């Protein structure tokens, strides 16, 4: 076996965003594009020689080819062993678990998560560090720097490996261990949750529908929900991962999981509905007639986690990303535990989890997880909900009502303005950033600004700081708006606007009605109409 050195040159724009490098699939398929980035990863971590990695992806278009390329490059770079899921499939949380379980030097995960898949859609590559979590900013910065000076990469010219069945293969001097993507993850879930109680719940007639959205969670949900817990066959729908996710966005929210939402709001609704995203790290939870916002879900899980065996000793702390509503903070206060507010993106939770400062973390974008892995984990959230439902013997709606009565309610909604020309989006954000200091005391419609700032984060564990993490505007009467630009898009810019209104004694009015004055104030002060020519978002979640 001879290692081939391929001459290349730096490719512009290989800068990882909120969650790895995401580009149009055709860009990743260009000569040297993927190879340059993979070599930059290895170069940024001091080489791959003698190291062990996990590699897998969500099965989207180009997953198979990319896995083969990465395996060859890992072997050519001298890696000792790579663990890869059967057919190259691994959910993001399962990959995180395998990295930790096998004490590897990290892993490469192929996914553009909730973005659609296909030759004309999106692809992504992300490196996770030995703790199982997404590379922190210092590491992604080194990857980007490495990409700017790259002049060659190494690979092998070997035929594709057959990754169809678990077993041990060799590629040059490197061992390739093909592993079942589900089994170790399943064992971890069985340790954390009371499967017996959950089996009892389902045997007692409790019904559920889990929409895997033709993405990677299908096999996991089938094994655990239908296999281990005894949900009737057919409880998991769209369970076969497809390279184009059946043509939809594998994004578990009321817009993209509309058929499930419609079912849950209908007379035929099962007791519990859930969905997960392309790579299995996100979740949507919906009870019969009761959608649970991700921010509320985080708060409910934090308040009730002790009902599951894995969390019976209580939580060390709760962490949420800055745009996520403050509902979880209220639970932390009541429990007398710490709460943390981090920038958007799971990589910022890693240090808190490693240091034992936080046990449960969450983001408003349908991500919840705990210290069991270092990624958000869609199916984990579903199982924790089911465990809580099995113990409390109440409906999702009753649990939510009870929660709001006790803690008050943070009405919440996110509006996305997608595919905005980049210059316009920056113009809007820069203008607003420049106005922040003068906003307090000014009134917009019914609301008066009480405070405004640009969010910076000082990591309490390693002392690193991250700036420009979003604009925050608070108003008298418990309202808050956050504006930031997405770091996962592949076309133009996406402006995300997050609205939140706290009510101590929830009025019961619709979220739309409660948030209207806030929305109007923010659209006015942000000059949306004038700068981007739009006041209606493309997606509301």
Catalytic residue numbers read 113
Cβ atoms of residues 327 and 400 within 8 Å: no
Q: Which one of Co ion, ligand VG1, none is in contact with 501 (Cβ closer than 5 to 8 A by kind)?
A: none
Cβ atoms of residues 353 and 133 within 8 Å: yes
Half-sphere exposure of 105 (CA within 13 A, CB side): 17
Q: How far is the CB of 280 from Co ion (least distance, A)?
A: 7
Question: How many chain residues bind ligand VG1 (CB under 6 A)?
Answer: 18
Q: How many CB atoms lie within 10 A of CB 507?
A: 10
d(CA 107, CA 541): 31
d(CA 303, CA 301): 5
d(CA 510, CA 518): 14
Q: Which one of ligand VG1, Co ion, none is in contact with 363 (Cβ closer than 5 to 8 A by kind)?
A: ligand VG1
Structure tokens at 319: 């962490």
Binding letters toward ligand VG1, positions 21-60, x by CB under 6 A: ----------------------------------------
Closest to 416 in 3D by CA, of 541, 330, 500: 541
Cβ atoms of residues 106 and 129 within 8 Å: yes
Q: Is 363 in the site for ligand VG1 (CB under 6 A)?
A: yes
Q: Which one of ligand VG1, Co ion, none is in contact with 243 (Cβ closer than 5 to 8 A by kind)?
A: none
- Judged by CB under 6 A, the residue of 14, 18, 39, 304 near ligand VG1 is 18
Q: Which one of ligand VG1, Co ion, none is in contact with 19 (Cβ closer than 5 to 8 A by kind)?
A: ligand VG1
Contacts of residue 385, defined as CB under 8 A and 6 or more positions apart, other chains included, come to 272, 274, 285, 297, 300, 301, 396
Q: How far is the CB of 79 from Co ion (least distance, A)?
A: 26
Q: Is 325 in the site for ligand VG1 (CB under 6 A)?
A: no
Site for ligand VG1 in 458-487 (CB under 6 A): 486-487
Looking at the Cβ atoms of 243 and 526, the one nearer to Co ion is 243
Nearest residue to Co ion, by Cβ distance, number only = 113
d(CA 96, CA 126): 12
Site for ligand VG1 in 331-350 (CB under 6 A): 344-346
Looking at the Cβ atoms of 344 and 501, the one nearer to ligand VG1 is 344
Q: How far is the CB of 500 from ligand VG1 (least distance, A)?
A: 15
Looking at the Cβ atoms of 418 and 446, the one nearer to ligand VG1 is 418
Cβ atoms of residues 225 and 232 within 8 Å: no
- Judged by CB under 6 A, the residue of 113, 238, 325, 413 near ligand VG1 is 113
Looking at the Cβ atoms of 18 and 155, the one nearer to ligand VG1 is 18
Q: What is the CA 360 to chain-centroid distance, rounded?
A: 14
Which H or E run contains 329?
Answer: helix 327-335
Q: Which one of Co ion, ligand VG1, none is in contact with 409 (Cβ closer than 5 to 8 A by kind)?
A: none
Nearest residue to ligand VG1, by Cβ distance, number only = 113
Looking at the Cβ atoms of 216 and 479, the one nearer to ligand VG1 is 216
* One-character DSSP codes across 249-295: ----STTTTHHHHHHHTSTT--SEEEEE-TTS-BEEEEETTEEE-HH
Cβ atoms of residues 211 and 262 within 8 Å: no
**Local structure of 122: helix, strand or coil:** strand
Q: Is 114 in the site for ligand VG1 (CB under 6 A)?
A: yes
Q: Is 157 exposed, middle or buried (0-12, 13-18, 19+ CB in 10 A)?
A: exposed
Cβ atoms of residues 113 and 59 within 8 Å: no
Q: How far is the CB of 511 from ligand VG1 (least distance, A)?
A: 19
Alpha helices in 7-57 (DSSP H): 25-28, 33-44
Binding letters toward ligand VG1, positions 494-533, x by CB under 6 A: --x-------------------------------------
Looking at the Cβ atoms of 287 and 489, the one nearer to ligand VG1 is 489
Q: How far is the CB of 343 from ligand VG1 (least distance, A)?
A: 10
Contacts of residue 100, defined as CB under 8 A and 6 or more positions apart, other chains included, come to 131, 132, 373, 374
Looking at the Cβ atoms of 155 and 344, the one nearer to ligand VG1 is 344
- Conformation bin of residue 420: beta by default, left when phi > 0, alpha when psi is -120 to 50: beta
Q: Is 541 in the site for ligand VG1 (CB under 6 A)?
A: no
Q: Is 377 in the site for ligand VG1 (CB under 6 A)?
A: no
Residues lying near Co ion in the complex (CB under 5 A): 113, 277, 279, 281-282
Q: How far is the CB of 114 from Co ion (least distance, A)?
A: 5
Q: How far is the CB of 515 from ligand VG1 (least distance, A)?
A: 19
Q: How far is the CB of 379 from ligand VG1 (least distance, A)?
A: 13
Query: Would you tell me which residues interact with ligand VG1 (CB under 6 A)?
Result: 18-19, 113-114, 277, 281-282, 321, 344-346, 363, 365, 367, 486-488, 496
């Amino acid at each position: 076996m001879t290692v081939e050195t391929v001459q290349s040159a730096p490719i512009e724009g290989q800068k990882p965003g909120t969650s790895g490098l995401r580009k149009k699939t055709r860009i990743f398929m260009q000569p040297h594009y993927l190879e340059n980035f993979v070599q930059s990863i290895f170069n940024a971590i001091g080489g791959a020689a003698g190291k062990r990695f996990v590699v897998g992806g969500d099965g989207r278009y180009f997953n198979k080819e990319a896995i083969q390329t990465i395996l060859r490059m890992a072997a050519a770079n001298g890696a000792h062993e790579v663990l890869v899921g059967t057919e190259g499939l691994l959910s993001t949380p399962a990959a995180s678990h395998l990295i930790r379980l096998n004490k590897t030097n990290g892993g490469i995960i192929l996914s553009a998560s909730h973005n659609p898949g296909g030759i004309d859609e999106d692809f992504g590559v992300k490196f996770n560090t030995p703790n199982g979590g997404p590379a922190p900013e210092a590491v992604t910065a080194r990857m980007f720097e490495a990409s700017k000076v790259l002049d060659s990469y190494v690979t092998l010219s070997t035929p594709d490996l057959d990754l169809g069945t678990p077993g041990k293969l060799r590629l040059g001097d490197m061992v390739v261990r093909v592993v079942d993507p589900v089994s170790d993850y399943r064992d971890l879930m069985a340790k954390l949750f009371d499967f017996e109680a959950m089996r009892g719940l389902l045997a007692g007639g409790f019904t559920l529908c889990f929409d895997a959205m033709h993405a990677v969670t299908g096999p996991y949900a089938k094994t655990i929900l239908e296999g281990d817990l005894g949900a009737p066959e057919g409880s998991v729908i769209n369970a076969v991962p497809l390279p184009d996710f059946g043509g939809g966005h594998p994004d578990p929210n009321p817009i993209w999981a509309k058929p499930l939402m419609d079912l849950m709001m209908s007379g035929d609704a099962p007791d519990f509905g859930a969905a997960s995203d392309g790579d299995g790290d996100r979740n949507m939870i919906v009870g019969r007639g009761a959608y649970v916002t991700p921010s509320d879900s985080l708060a409910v899980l934090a308040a009730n986690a002790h009902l599951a065996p894995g969390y019976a000793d209580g939580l060390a702390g709760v962490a949420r990303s800055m745009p996520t509503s403050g509902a979880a903070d209220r639970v932390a206060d009541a429990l007398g535990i710490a709460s943390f507010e981090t920038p958007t993106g799971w990589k910022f939770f890693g240090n808190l989890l490693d240091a034992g400062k936080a046990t449960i973390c969450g983001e408003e974008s349908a991500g919840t997880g705990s210290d069991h892995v270092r990624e958000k984990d869609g199916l984990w959230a579903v199982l924790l909900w089911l465990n809580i439902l099995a113990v409390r013997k109440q409906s999702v709606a009753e649990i939510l009502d009870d929660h709001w009565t006790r803690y008050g309610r943070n009405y919440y909604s996110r509006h996305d303005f997608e595919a905005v020309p980049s210059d316009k989006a920056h113009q809007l954000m820069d203008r607003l950033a420049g106005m922040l200091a003068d906003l307090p005391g000014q009134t917009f419609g019914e609301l008066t600004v009480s405070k405004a700032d640009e969010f910076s984060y000082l990591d309490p564990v390693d002392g690193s700081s991250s700036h420009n993490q979003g604009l925050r505007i608070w108003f008298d009467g418990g309202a808050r708006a956050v504006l930031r630009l997405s770091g996962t898009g592949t076309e133009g810019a996406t402006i995300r606007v997050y609205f939140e209104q706290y009510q101590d004694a929830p009025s019961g009015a619709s979220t739309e009605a409660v948030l209207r004055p806030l929305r109007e104030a923010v659209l006015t002060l942000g000059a949306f109409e004038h700068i981007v020519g739009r006041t209606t978002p493309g997606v509301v979640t």
